[in-house]
Amino acid sequence: MNLVVVSNRVARASGNEPMTGGLAAALLPVVEKSGAIWVGSSGRVRDGVHREPFAEIEPLGAGALAMLDLPAAHYGGYYEGFANSALWPALHSRPDLIRVSHDDYRSYREVNAFMARALLRFRKPDTAFWIQDYHFLALGAELRQLGVQHPIGFFLHTPWPSRATIGCVPHHRELIEAMLTYDLIGFQTEEDRRNFLGYVESELGLKIDGSEVSTTHGTARCEVFAISIDADAFAQQAQKAMTHPEVSRLRKSLNGEKLVIGVDRLDYSKGLINRVKAFDKMLTDRPALQRVVSLLQIATPSRGTIEAYGNLQGDLAKLVSDVNGRLGEVDWTPIRYLNKGYRQSVLAGLYRSAHVGLVTPLQDGMNLVAKEYVAAQNPLDPGVLVLSKFAGAANELDTALQVNPHDIEGMSRVIATALAMPLTERRLRWEAMMAKLRDNSIRRWFADFLAALDQAHTANRSVGPIPLAPPPSIMMAGGRSRLAPRAAGAVLQ
Ligand SMILES: O=P(O)(O)OC[C@H]1O[C@H](O[C@H]2O[C@H](CO)[C@@H](O)[C@H](O)[C@H]2O)[C@H](O)[C@@H](O)[C@@H]1O
Ligand SMILES: O=c1ccn([C@@H]2O[C@H](COP(=O)(O)OP(=O)(O)O)[C@@H](O)[C@H]2O)c(=O)[nH]1
């Protein structure tokens, strides 16, 4: 099989920069080994690329990485607009943060259609397409519309929310109808899958048969594949990282103090404000812990041109400075707060140096930082993971100390418990989590998805050729979508 993987964000094998997010970090090692072609955005835009998509292609393991310049006129409306100001807040159950214009939606559909046309050059008779994430909900439908009969799978890296919440996204019906043209739709957790099928049944009135939804365009199978990491490789990296100068400097600066670590993109879904408040409360309520423990919070800038992200950056900086100003001393700072990214070869050593890993998102598809923190620990003296029950990772990492990130007082108590946990209990909890990570590796995630895609597509083909997808349509009065033919290229006119 000749695999084409598609995502908005890609990662270069030779890249020396820190990873921006879990999708790229998780996919890089497996895509590299698979010989696949990985197609995504170059991060650059270009005028007039509609006819001839421009791709910079470089080797990636046995395969290749193709980075496309996306259309200048639509990039902002697609990425910052519809993808990250409408879909992202809705998918993370924050409908109050949805900001979207109908032009943004048009741009989103234009970029999906553009990507579909660009993918045709990579198509061979035995190609399977694997589309990643909410940036490309409609890409499968665009490919089918171009007559592509190949297997097309989709994996959603974020949560899928309740029907009421996804219903706040303009054009939700036509987007989800478009998703049903995928042979296979993968989710991080059973809850995400249930929410999606619940929407399909109650909002679209379609019948669900086990994991399958049948439409006049074929059957979409919906399954769960929890993304993961290569735990043993990460453990080795962590051991090696202990001699990295940056890690040595951190350890030396601790002067025997305990360390709590948080590593996140600066995103409102990550629960950073509540986390800092909980740490503050712990130190304020338990003065004996002052000078005994500090927090290292790495908050990598993300999507900074979007208002909600800019506001968060300001609010968080103010909160951290308030805590440090109030509790700090001439020779002690309670919170080390860094707005930059670190390579995993350094990050692994930082995790291993920390007695507690704080991963407290309000909502998170999976959260690979939680898994990396566990994998990085010294088996003889492991740290404790404090994990939000609203991260996808909480399903597997069930011996972490799980918290409700909305309960600041509860979190402050649990962090104190983690800091005081005896070695025997730390080891028991860590061993159980590490066994789960070893069992469900990123290699297994990759292989299981592709095997299920093959099965789903074979079952679809056994009932005949796949009809052209329902074409995209604009909203009609009353919020219902219509399924009407569309002239090639005439998106949303
Ligand atoms: O590409 P960006 O806009 O910079 O955002 C980074 C990525 O954020 C999201 O990551 C998700 O995928 C992880 C791996 O499955 C998962 O652990 C995490 O819970 C998710 O938030 C987003 O879904 C990606 O598309 C972005 O690339
Ligand atoms: O400075 C940083 C911060 C994060 N990461 C990586 O970015 C990913 C974050 O993934 P996660 O699933 O936790 O969250 P996301 O950012 O994708 O929502 C992890 O693999 C981290 O190792 C990194 O390499 N350097």
Nearest ligand 1 atom to alpha carbon 132: 25
Residues 294 and 400 in one domain: yes
286 CA distance to ligand 1 middle (Å): 36
Ligand nearest 343 Cα, by number? Answer: 2
| Burial (Cβ within 10 Å: 0-12, 13-18, ≥19) of residue 219 | middle
Measure 21 CA to ligand 1 centroid, in angstroms: 5
Catalytic residue from among 74, 157, 171, 355: 157
Answer yes or no: is 393 within a domain: yes
Could you identify the atom of ligand 1 that is nearest to the CA of residue 133? 25
Domain count, the chain: 2
Predicted confidence at residue 483, as pLDDT, reads 30
Is the distance from the beta carbon of residue 393 to the nearest atom of ligand 2 less than 6 Å? Answer: no
Whether residues 141 and 279 share a domain: the answer is no
Same domain membership, residue 202 and residue 251: no
- The best mutation among 263, 296, 340, 366 to test binding of ligand 2, ranked by most ligand atoms within 8 Å of the C-beta, falls on 263
Quote the Cα angle for 299-304-310, to 5°: 85
Evaluate whether residue 369 is within a structural domain.
yes
Q: What CATH number has the domain bearing residue 54? A: 3.40.50.2000
Q: Is 157 a catalytic residue?
A: yes
Stated pTM of the model: 0.95
For residue 17, the 8-state DSSP code is S
Residue with tokens 């029950």: 389
Q: Are residues 362 and 238 in the same domain?
A: yes
DSSP string, 302-368: -STTSHHHHHHHHHHHHHHHHHHHHH-BTTB-SEEEE-S---HHHHHHHHHT-SEEEE--SSBS--H
CA dihedral 403, 404, 405, 410 (to 10 degrees): -70
- Claim to verify: residue 328 and residue 179 sit in the same structural domain: no
**Would you state the pLDDT for residue 49?**
65
| Beta-sheet pairing, 401-403 with 384-388 | parallel
Does residue 493 form part of some domain? no
Ligand showing the shortest atom-to-Cα distance for residue 266: 2
Ligand 2 atom nearest 298 alpha carbon = 1
Measured from the CA of 367, which atom of ligand 1 is nearest? 17
Same domain, 191 and 291: no
Task: Give distance in angstroms: CA of 360 to centre of ligand 1.
Answer: 16
Q: Residue 209 — φ and ψ, nearest 5°?
A: -120, 95
Collapse the DSSP code of 6 into the 3-class scheme (helix H, G, I; strand E, B; otherwise coil) and give the result. Answer: strand
Q: How far is Cα 367 from Cα 374, in angstroms, rounded to an integer?
A: 12
The reply to whether 149 falls in a domain is yes
193 and 315 together in one domain: no
Kindly state the helix (H) or strand (E) to which residue 384 belongs, with its residue range.
Answer: strand 384-388
Q: Are residues 29 and 42 in the same domain?
A: yes
Q: What is the mean pLDDT of each run of 10 residues along the chain (493 residues)?
A: 96 81 96 97 86 86 96 97 98 97 97 97 97 98 97 98 98 98 98 98 97 93 98 98 98 96 98 98 98 98 97 98 98 97 97 98 98 98 98 98 98 98 98 98 98 97 74 39 28 23
Distance 335 CA to ligand 1 centre (A): 26
Q: Provide the domain limits for residue 252.
A: 231-439
Contact predicate 154/140, CB 8 Å: yes
pLDDT value of residue 270: 98
Same domain, 244 and 356: yes
**Nearest residue by C-alpha to atom 5 in ligand 1:** 21
Dist. CA 458–CA 463, nearest whole Å: 9
Residues 351 and 368 in one domain: yes
For 428, the 3-state DSSP assignment is helix
Cα(464) to centroid of ligand 1, in Å? 36
Examine residue 367 and state whether it is found in any structural domain, yes or no: yes
**353 near 381, Cβ under 8 Å?**
no
What is the C-alpha separation between 199 and 185, in angstroms, rounded? 14
Tokens of 102: 């109908």
Check whether residue 420 and residue 364 sit in a common domain: yes
Per the annotation, the verdict on 407 as an active-site residue is no
Is any ligand 2 atom within 6 A of the Cβ of residue 388? Answer: no
Q: Are residues 448 and 416 in the same domain?
A: no
Q: Which ligand is nearest to the CA of 159?
A: 1
